[in-house]
Amino acid sequence: MDKFIIMGGNRLHGKVSVQSAKNTVLPLLSCCILCKEQIVLKNCPCISDVKKMTEIIERMGGKIEFCDDDLKIDCSDIHYIEINEELTKSIRSSVFMLGSLLGRFSRATVAYPGGCEIGKRPIDIHIAGLKTLGVQIMETEKFIECDGAELHSDKIILSMPSVGATENMIMAAVLTAGVTVIENAAKEPEIEDLQNFINAMGGNVSGAGSDKITVVGVKRLHGCTYTPIGDRIVGGTYLAMCAGCGGDLTVCNCDMKGLSAVLDVFKACGCWVETCGTEVRLISEGNLRAIPLLRTGPFPAFPTDMQPQICAVLTTADGVSLIEENIFESRFKYVRQLELMGADIAIQDRRALVTGVNALKPSIVSAEDLRGGAALITAALMTDGVSVVYGAEHVDRGYFKIEETLTTLGADIVRVGC
Ligand code: EPZ
């Protein structure tokens, strides 16, 4: 259980290139189950969530090889396994394997993933969609057993634009004869990336990025080499750290479309932002303006995965900001830790009222989840003094060696094993 020791107060400067997006690589790894030839995913981050998903594929008999930043996956000889409680607890995204297991083996058994630090995380929308596709589902106390013998194409209307459910439905339909239409689909850039990946393997998916996705079933998929989009949340996180600390930072290989709402907020705070291709440059003097109302929501709204980080930045902004979290019901747990650092934040239901203070004070805090941990590191970088952030394992789920990247940008941060 590592911790970070951070001497705050340094401005950030320089250039960082983000790797392929965690929330793209995870569904793409699940999708590899549908293909019986080798696939290479380029520029993959060796983060713990990716490693846990590759371990599941290896348990199925798949071959995994990390060559520098290229991830080779060969599912030609895999066998069926149940995604048991140990696996769904180790990584919630294993639920995203329901669709691909059904597409490959016509069956899937997954333990309920349960809630996590940011919410209950139900999977009712996944289950409803699979039932529409003819999957017989038996729910026991701990497991969901899916019989896909009657899996067929159909029209699915999702009750809400769930990212994971959209991805599961696409994967369940890729090798299913006929035309499947998914309405009220999630429109996140990661969905478009999944579509492009499947089509690169010879699949036939269209409409991703809109709320109506069409999947025409094909008989088989062939191998490919694919470069997923850059991680907009990792890029946005480093930009947020620069906004809060002050500095001049360029982030490269960023999916600009997915960052648009985030960049608008940085500009509204008083940062100078310039984009060129897949590069974003942000300059901040550190003295920011408050944001009267910031609402998270499904894409293209402000992404929930950037909510904790921007909240940390706004703790010392001039004025009062109101943040409304509309995706996950428990995504303000990190606020208690920010209050230990002197932040003035009042929580009511899904709203956080952030009153800017002159400065945060160095403290000892603990991360409880991935993006909350990134927010605490952001806050620690903004203080003048030494802070300790416990729970590095949460941050490692989505950020590869964050301390090394921040050190190259001028931060004073070290990782210490506990
Ligand atoms: C994906 O989670 C991402 N994870 C999350 O990123 C991200 O925050 C989320 O999408 C929203 O953008 C991955 O891609 C691996 P949802 P997912 O289904 O698919 C409710 C991070 O920090 N819901 O779009 O689980 C759910 O409770 C992570 O990188 C149901 O009610 O999100 C939530 O309130 C965190 N029933 C809302 O929908 C369901 O069956 C959105 O969830 C499914 C979801």
Q: With a 6 A CB cut-off, is 191 part of the ligand 1 pocket?
A: no
Centroid of ligand 1 to alpha carbon of 211 (angstroms): 16
* Beta carbons of 377 and 339 less than 8 angstroms apart: no
Q: State the burial class of residue 110 (Cβ atoms within 10 Å of its Cβ: 0-12, 13-18, 19+).
A: buried
Angle formed at CA 154 by CA 148 and CA 159, multiple of 5 degrees: 95
For the chain, the first-to-last Cα distance in angstroms comes to 5
Copy the structure tokens of residue 93: 């995204």
Contact of 307 with 323, CB cutoff 8 Å: yes
216-244, pLDDT tens digit by residue?
Answer: 999 999 999 999 999 999 999 999 999 99
Q: Is the pLDDT of residue 114 over 90?
A: no
For residues 39 and 201, the answer to whether their CB atoms sit within 8 Å is yes
Q: Length of the chain, please? A: 418
- CA contacts within 13 A on the Cβ side of 79: 2
Mean pLDDT of the chain: 96
Distance 267 CA to ligand 1 centre (A): 27
pLDDT higher for 51 or 114?
A: 51
Q: What is the pLDDT of residue 376?
A: 98
35 in catalytic set: no
Give the residue, by CA position, lying nearest to ligand 1 atom 38: 162
Residue among 44, 46, 67, 116 flagged as catalytic: 116
Q: How far is the CA of 94 from the centre of ligand 1 (A)?
A: 13
* Cβ-contact 366, 377 below 8 angstroms: no
- How many Å apart are CA 316 and CA 321, to the nearest integer? 10
CB of 350 shorter than 6 A to ligand 1: no
Tell me the pTM: 0.98
Helix (H, G, I), strand (E, B) or coil at 384: coil
Confidence of residue 1 (pLDDT cuts 50, 70, 90): confident
Protein residue closest via CA to atom 13 of ligand 1? 23
CB atoms within 10 A of CB 395: 26
CA–CA distance, 187 with 50 (Å, rounded to integer) = 23
